[in-house]
Structure 1
Amino acid sequence: MDAPTTPPNPHYDRFGGQDAVQRLVDAFYRAMDELPQARTIRAMHEVDLGPTRQLLTRYLSEWMGGPGLYTPERGAPRLRRRHMPFAIDAAARDAWMACMRQALAETCTDAGLRSELEAAFRRVAEALVNTQAAPAPPAALND
């Protein structure tokens, strides 16, 4: 008798596959550059978002149930550990979620799927909160 298997995460195919994941990531980082409340979390990233975009695309592809593009390259996600160097408080979590909600609104026409993904992203964002204090403002580049 075969061992029971966990059904695959259906979000990847329902969302539209790799091209849709890439559009989501592009919309997410565009929102991060545009939304005033996202300034603090944008400052946590490198100026050049190219490598970060690629990394998030690989992660989300796998996380949504698509091809395993992240784990073979980076190992287990361990998101909380990877984000510990950053002061992530409720405001940072909410700013991240505002960017993701905007990106989902732009890229996901299926309201039910959008709601499922938003709830899942909310759980992830909540798990990354690691401080009660507000993050320090970024230092000026010319200081």
Structure 2
Amino acid sequence: MTDTPKPLPRLTLRANETGPAVTETFYDQVGGHETFVKLVAEFYREIPADPVLGPMYPEADFAAAEQRLLLFLEQYWGGPSTYSEQRGHPRLRMRHTPFRVNPNARDRWLAHMRRAVDSLDLSPLHRETLWDYLERAAHAMVNSFEESAPPQ
């Protein structure tokens, strides 16, 4: 016999002990769709020319990859669930297994993403919250410690 776990009580976030409840998602707090469009566009601006990351994207797929990242980040941070509606569960590690993501690729990805995050007009708390997630996600995507890329 298995016991079904009871749902946890809903957590109410407040600005201070007696302040009003915070009801906006992170997505809403940082400016919603337009903020994430800017983040993703800025990230992809230099990716095609990156000697390590650029070859991981078939040229015809840059626009599609940009759209997938946008939809994923929007959903993750509390925006529309379009990513899951179109593609199912994110399964980030599984979707990245065809690519050799070594520490060098991770660090290059993070450098481009750092530039993109820094281009946004976010509060320090929002900037660091976003960066913390992106950094952890990038480390989780490493699937190889080989230095060279596989033949294309």
Shared fold per TM-score greater than 0.5: yes
Match of 2:51 among 9, 34, 39: 39
- The structure with higher relative contact order (CA 8 Å, sep 6+) is 1
CA distances 1:62-121 after superposition (whole Å, capped 9, x unpaired): 011111110011010000000001111111111111111000111233222111111110
Letter in 2 for 1:118: W
In the TM superposition, residue 31 of structure 1 has moved relative to its aligned partner by 3.3
Letter in 2 for 1:104: V
Match of 1:14 among 29, 35, 42: 29
In the TM superposition, residue 50 of structure 1 has moved relative to its aligned partner by 1.0
CA distances 1:8-35 after superposition (whole Å, capped 9, x unpaired): 883211221011111111000013246x
Q: Which runs of 5+ in 2 are unaligned?
A: 1-6, 13-22
Is the CA contact (8 Å cut-off) linking 1:31 and 1:103 kept in structure 2? Answer: no
**Which residue number corresponds to residue 128 of structure 1?**
141
Match of 1:90 among 87, 96, 103: 103
Which structure features the higher share of helix residues? 1
- Structure 1 segment 50-89 matched on structure 2, within 5 A: 50-89=63-102
- Say if 2:29 is the partner of 1:24: no
- Bigger-Rg structure (1/2): 2
**1:71–1:135 distance in 2 versus 1, CA, 3 Å:** farther
> How many residue pairs end up in the alignment?
135
The TM-score normalised by the length of structure 2 is 0.79
Q: Which runs of 5+ in 1 are unaligned?
A: none
RMSD (CA atoms)? 2.2
**1:112–1:31 distance in 2 versus 1, CA, 3 Å:** farther
Q: What is the aligned-residue identity percentage?
A: 34
Letter in 1 for 2:141: L
Question: SS where residue 87 of structure 1 aligns?
Answer: coil
**Which residue number corresponds to residue 113 of structure 1?**
126
**1:112–1:55 distance in 2 versus 1, CA, 3 Å:** same
In the TM superposition, residue 6 of structure 1 has moved relative to its aligned partner by 6.3
